[in-house]
Structure 1
């Protein structure tokens, strides 16, 4: 969710299951009981006979060969370059790892991916990467916000949107979330705004324009012992209207809405130090459809 909705981005926790063996969120724990004769009393497993070993090796070899053949055949019949990732390339549908044969990202413009393929797949990749940048902590910093806006939006919208972002993220807003005029948290605190796209969907597509929805989750807030705005997670969908201009996909406008959100689990929350350390140590990704 964008920072403009920072005050109410947190949703109420959903109902927790009363079943102690619930599999929601992977919380079910399973114990495997090993046969009593699997060891010799000293923690050692018996030596397998050569026939069993040969069978295992044979199965592994067959699996590796099957995977190799599948990878080699994944790109056959798929277009590459312009038009290669449209409706005919597996429809760029819900399959999270469906191969298309098109390289959707060619490079980077600063820290943001650039050079997206001129097709539906490239538009989805652009939308996913731009959604991450638009809800990042850097968008709150005046020094980096201008560069982000100029990299993401079509040229004719840059000045207008720079002014709107500056108005939305004024000092009054920054004060409410505990940041100074440069968008930095106080000493000992870490402001967190990290978004991860879960999936993308093309609403409409042509050679020059595209509308793409990006389903996202993310963590937002300030990590630190004295924080009054603790880090929590959110789920939201961002819709981006894109134009093909200057050899790349750029944003003309965007909007967002809450959800879809899953049921909250009863997983224990990490402390502020763990969250701050994770943000510092784990880098982000370039997202490609």
Structure 2
């Protein structure tokens, strides 16, 4: 990006805050959580029984640890305290309603691509990338590599790939009730889905834009007699993006729990209903 372009798009109004996190997409798995700390990388809320809670905690630790390692490598991430960025004390809060501007012009495989080179485009990219990183496709090596190639900055791809290949291990899969290759046992449906609720720009500095994506997500095995039932959760993903080869790409990615609303005590659906809903309802292309 030229200095001129950077001044143009960075001059647009938008909220700013300091970047408080240090992990990646989190795979509390998520869906789409890359490992980071001991919460579910993708923010799923643990189920209300001891066995499920233990499973969730184990998954979160593995995923968050991987994310933390990814952020440590390469020195590509800029510290949130670095100068040049605006913060919430100097910028107003943006509306949460969608603007109506077309988010993208195309796709890179199944992932939206061609985002606008401005803050709105960065937020749209961050939301769609959060969905990809929290998806069930991340549990398949070939599909995971394709996702990383599509959304990670070229200089950061190998670091992400190495970290996640280590995180998505047979032991991690076992904690989720999956087989050693990451597939679901016969008769069960594995669910990992992340849904963005809102986005905001928290920093613009050194040619990079940092975006927070507030998400809710699902993860677990749906099926009769599942010991790893599908649970939900709330989490915030922080993504540092760089304009590379005509589009926004991820440089660093981290996650933390919440904000989470009060549990509405809704009746839990059967495993069959959950599996049917996830398989029957498609996802969206998200836009700020």
After TM superposition, the score normalised by the length of structure 1 is 0.69
Cα deviation code 1:89-128 (max 9, x no counterpart): xx882331334xx433111101110010000000000000
Once superposed, which parts of structure 1, at least 4 consecutive aligned residues long, lie more than 6 Å away?
none
Give the deviation of 1:282 after TM superposition. 0.7
RMSD: 2.2
Matching residue of 1:10: 45
Matching residue of 1:78: none
What secondary structure is seen at the aligned counterpart in 1 of 2:159?
Answer: helix
Give structure 1 stretches of 5+ with no counterpart.
14-90
Matching residue of 1:240: 239
Matching residue of 1:162: 161
Give structure 2 stretches of 5+ with no counterpart.
1-25, 30-34, 49-91
Cα deviation code 1:118-140 (max 9, x no counterpart): 00000000000001111111111
Cα deviation code 1:4-56 (max 9, x no counterpart): 3559942577xxxxxxxxxxxxxxxxxxxxxxxxxxxxxxxxxxxxxxxxxxx
After TM superposition, the score normalised by the length of structure 2 is 0.69
What secondary structure is seen at the aligned counterpart in 2 of 1:251?
Answer: strand
Measure, in 2, the Cα distance between the counterparts of 1:94 and 1:195: 22
Cα deviation code 1:135-188 (max 9, x no counterpart): 111111112010011111000111121111010111111112122233210011
Deviates most, 153-162 or 1-10: 1-10
Measure, in 2, the Cα distance between the counterparts of 1:208 and 1:247: 14
Measure, in 2, the Cα distance between the counterparts of 1:181 and 1:6: 20
1:216 matched to 2:251? The reply is: no
**Pairs aligned (count):** 211
Larger radius of gyration: 1
The higher-RCO structure (CA 8 Å, 6+ apart) is 2
What secondary structure is seen at the aligned counterpart in 1 of 2:155?
Answer: helix
Matching residue of 2:96: 95
Cα deviation code 1:169-219 (max 9, x no counterpart): 111111121222332100110111111100001001258310000000011
Matching residue of 1:145: 144
